[in-house]
Chain A
Amino acid sequence: MIRETSAASRLFDIMLIIFLVVISLLCILPIWYTLMVSLSQKSAAAAGIVSVWPIGFNLNSYKEIMKDAVFFNSFWVSIQRVVLGAALSFVVTILMAYPLSKTTRDFRLRNVLMWILVFMMMFSGGLIPLYQTVKAYGLIDSIWVLVLSGGLPMFNVILVINFFRNLPKELEESAFVDGAGPWYTLVKLFVPLSVPVLATITLFSIVGHWNEFFSGLVFMTTPENYPLQTYIQQMVVQMDFTTINTDPEALKRLSELSNQTLNAAKIFIAMIPILIIYPFLQRFFVHGITLGSVKE
């Protein structure tokens, strides 16, 4: 790298670093602020005097959540859907990607099946038909609708197909020569060689399922079956604006009534699983983004 030593250049470097620090803080401060509100006194939060540090530090909000069975129920629903969803999508994706990574010479219908997949990825019937279908299957209010209604994870399949295609052909051919069948080759050869891409798609599924709220809202009829994000959407985010008008006084009263510290604590707890896996996310997502590209 070339080092610049001129005064103007040094000044530019310093300005740049200050600017980047400010931008980085802007990304993290709103999240930090939420944590601080959750640790503050209710009155301080309502008055809007909380900023970078908690005012009147206490853990009351978290103690209150500990007693909230509905919150934990939703948390548990979310955990279940993440585990089921990630496991199912892992198995299905690998099984699909292997045959579809073949050439038409080895697997005649490969291109036809691939085009069906790509067409389905770009075209959907829309919300209402999906709702009617799920209803017809009798899956309303079942955990399986949360796992399945997002549809086949086609993006993941394509990512893994591209990864498999970049593996050296000779490996597979020598396995076949040694008498290995396609199942053995997939499980013992392809899967171990594809750990980075498989980690990436698994993290995709985990984050996707944890963050998804809409199928919970549409397909779950009893609030006890809401996943955590839907619970938060309903309890915290969706404010009933129909009861207020543009009168600032009315809005002020409403914000005093709403339990800001408790809501902030719920939001923060819902973030914790993502924060825990964040180091892995960073490592694999960054690779994952460039992983899908076709190298020829």
Chain B
Amino acid sequence: MRNKGFSKHYYLMLLPGYIWLIMFSIVPMFGVLIAFQDYQPVRGVFGSEWVGLENFEYMFSLNDSKVIFFNTVFIALLKIIAHLIVPVIFALMLHEVQVAIFKRWVQTLVYLPHFLSWVILSGIIMDVFSFSGPVNNLLSLFGVDPVLFMGKPELFPYLIVGSDVWKEFGFNTIIYLAALTGINPSLYEAAALDGANRWHRLRHITLPGIAPTALLLLILSLGNVLNAGFDQVFNLYNPLVYSTGDIIDTWVYREGLLKLQFGLATAVGLLKSVVGFILITLSYYLASRFTNYRIF
């Protein structure tokens, strides 16, 4: 069945989407030229002076660059590890529960934070961890002096990772629960007949059953090594914790839009985009190579 005449209808259908794509994704891409200019907003992209790689050289000479690069990768890697381990453990625990209604209630409660924005959750977290908030009240029962959690650079990255796990672990278990229900129940029955106890079955049936899913998610998360989570950090950080909490995206925002260093901020953003693109491409390649995963 060939439908040659349909092509023009197909183009017409694609038109609105590609106009949107061109206006808000492709046209801004040409704006990266700013990275190679001493950009002056009044002169525009065409009138500003070209400076070659000067912005990039300046970027590498800045002490800030090393700090934000390290912070970004450190927070992102911790998140990748935590998001791999916690949901697997939680899914395995939930899987062991045989009371269906209890399981549903747990799921209803733990999925909720995923749907709330970081603005809302930051407001809540700052309240909970505030000087006279519940966490400090609880600690005072054990004789610990109140801690200014949001102002401690040595705690900040862990607070970021911890709160991100709190928000997402429930939701991230969904994919593992789906993998767990995909395991053939007769495997468990056969193992039980052969005298395997709960631990044996976990070790030899359940874990191998979800290992491919865990591997796939790990590979795909490699694309996120430079994404420490802008929305979260932006809403939770403050100048007291810039030394450990400032990440590439927040720095670009402050340097570019608040201090109006357009050329420099664009250069940093561009470098991040290029490295991020390479990482994502690599992770998709690895995923399709080892786990027959395809995005489309």
Contacts and interface: CB of A to CB of B under 8 A. Distances in A.
A33 to B, nearest CB: 6
B292 to A, nearest CB: 9
A128 B252 contact: yes
- By secondary structure, the A interface counts as helix
A221 to B, nearest CB: 12
Interface centre among A9, A20, A33, A207 (most CB of B within 10 A): A20
Contact of A128 (B108, B128, B262): B262
B32 A96 contact: no
B209 interface: no
B31 A16 contact: no
A23 to B, nearest CB: 7
- By secondary structure, the B interface counts as helix
A121 to B, nearest CB: 9
A130 B98 contact: no
Contact of A232 (B2, B120, B134): B120
Given A232-B119, A241-B238, A278 B16 contact: no
Interface residues of A, number: 112
A108 B257 contact: no
A13 B99 CA distance: 11
Nearest to B17: A96
A124 B24 CA distance: 10
Contact of B277 (A27, A47, A102, A122): A122
Interface of A: 1-4, 9, 12-13, 16-17, 19-21, 23-28, 30-31, 33-34, 37, 46-48, 51, 91-93, 95-96, 98-100, 102, 105-108, 113-114, 116-118, 120, 122-133, 137, 148-152, 157-158, 161-162, 173, 176-177, 181-183, 186, 207, 210-214, 218, 229-230, 232-233, 236-239, 241-242, 246, 248, 251-252, 255, 260, 263-264, 267, 270-271, 274, 278, 281-282, 285-286, 289-290, 294
Interface of B: 1-3, 6-7, 9-11, 13-14, 16-18, 20-21, 23-32, 34, 41, 45, 90, 93-94, 96-99, 102, 105-113, 115-117, 119-120, 122-128, 130-134, 136-137, 146, 148, 151, 166, 170-171, 174-175, 178, 185, 188-189, 192, 198, 230-231, 234-235, 238-240, 249, 252-253, 256-257, 262, 265-266, 269-270, 272-274, 276-277, 280-281, 294-296
